[in-house]
Amino acid sequence: MSLLVVGSIALDDVTTRHGRKSGVLGGSCSYFSLAASNFTDVRMVGVVGEDFPEEYVRLFEDRGIDLTGLERRSGKTFFWRGEYTEDFSSRTSLQTDLNVFAEFDPQLPESYTNSDFVFLANIHPQLQLRVLEQCSPKFVAADTMKLWIDTELDALKEVISRVNLVTVNDLEVRLISGEDNLVRGVKKILDMGPDYVILKKGEHGAMLVGSDVEFFAPAVPLDDFRDPTGAGDTFAGGFMGHLASRGGNNPTLMKSAMFYGTIMASFTVEDFSVERLIQATERDIMNRYQRLLRLTQL
């Protein structure tokens, strides 16, 4: 079934203990759509500037990603420069130039309005709501971040009440719910309306909680780890891509989707930007699925 993603497309400048990469592809939309394109057809809504390299456009096209909703504006593409600490426990944003993304106002092309699965990546909650007004999907997931919890909590709560799934990290659970304990915090978010919450714990895995399912997926153990940027959006891409490819969201599908999300994220963090992610073959994905089975099944 059709899968729509609305989010950011960026040019990143990232420094980690393994080096620095400048002008590389970033943004939630990019990671999500490239990950999801391994499973299903993806429709993208986003905006780029005149400086956006043609090679990245071709990368999306080669993956069969529908770019009807990709707006090209005069001006520069959203730019982010950041640096991770030695142990990857935190990162500092050194420069954030919204550029053309500052006036992003997502318009769904007519051909996108029948999308069955929708991922609202981390953008202003009012924009997330505007997307929902333009379609009637079967299943919607939304991501968010601390900035919107701090500044747009009412709009964010409206989003949370209107989607099927919310993806959050531990800090976001605590801030949204006011609960220190994550189990109680996730329950409070479920009480706000969504059917499911995915708690993203980075190297410690991810947990899906809903009324009919509770499932934990450990991260794939990696002996190389270079850049965590985009891991969460990649996870969402693998997760939603699998659901959309199967056209449903029953507990069994949601569990295997947790594994596919985990697997796609494991590729992303092995190198900068989308470098390793776009090299992942179907065989690579299946090998890591088998690895997760061995790691978790009795």
User: Per CB under 8 A, does 260 bind its own copies?
Assistant: no
Contact pick of 68, 181, 250, 290 for its own copies (by CB under 8 A): 181
**Residue with smaller CB distance to its own copies, 15 or 77:** 15
Q: Which residues pair with 125 in a beta bridge?
A: none
User: Per CB under 8 A, does 222 bind its own copies?
Assistant: yes
**Residue with smaller CB distance to its own copies, 22 or 290:** 290
Residue 64 sits at the vertex; the CA angle it makes with 11 and 234, to the nearest 5 degrees, is 50
Close Cβ partners of 264 (under 8 Å, ≥ 6 residues apart): 35, 38, 234, 235, 237, 238, 241, 277, 280, 285
Contact pick of 111, 113, 252, 279 for its own copies (by CB under 8 A): 252
- Using CA atoms, how far apart are residues 27 and 70, in angstroms rounded to an integer? 13
User: Per CB under 8 A, does 51 bind its own copies?
Assistant: no
Residue by residue, DSSP assigns 201-258 as: -GGG-EEEEESS-EEEEPPPP-S-----TTHHHHHHHHHHHHHHHHT---HHHHHHHH
User: Per CB under 8 A, does 146 bind its own copies?
Assistant: no
Q: Which stretch binds its own copies (CB under 8 A): 46-54, 98-106, 131-139, 223-231?
A: 223-231
Q: Which stretch binds its own copies (CB under 8 A): 2-10, 30-38, 140-148, 289-297?
A: 289-297
**Residue with smaller CB distance to its own copies, 148 or 267:** 267
The least distance separating its own copies from the CB of residue 98, rounded to whole angstroms, comes to: 34
Specify the pairing of strand 78-84 against strand 91-97.
antiparallel
Name residues contacting its own copies, limited to 70-99 (CB under 8 A).
87
**Residue with smaller CB distance to its own copies, 63 or 246:** 246
- Using CA atoms, how far apart are residues 166 and 249, in angstroms rounded to an integer? 14
Residues in contact with its own copies by CB under 8 A are 87, 180-184, 187, 201, 204-205, 207, 214-216, 218, 221-225, 252, 255-256, 259, 293-298
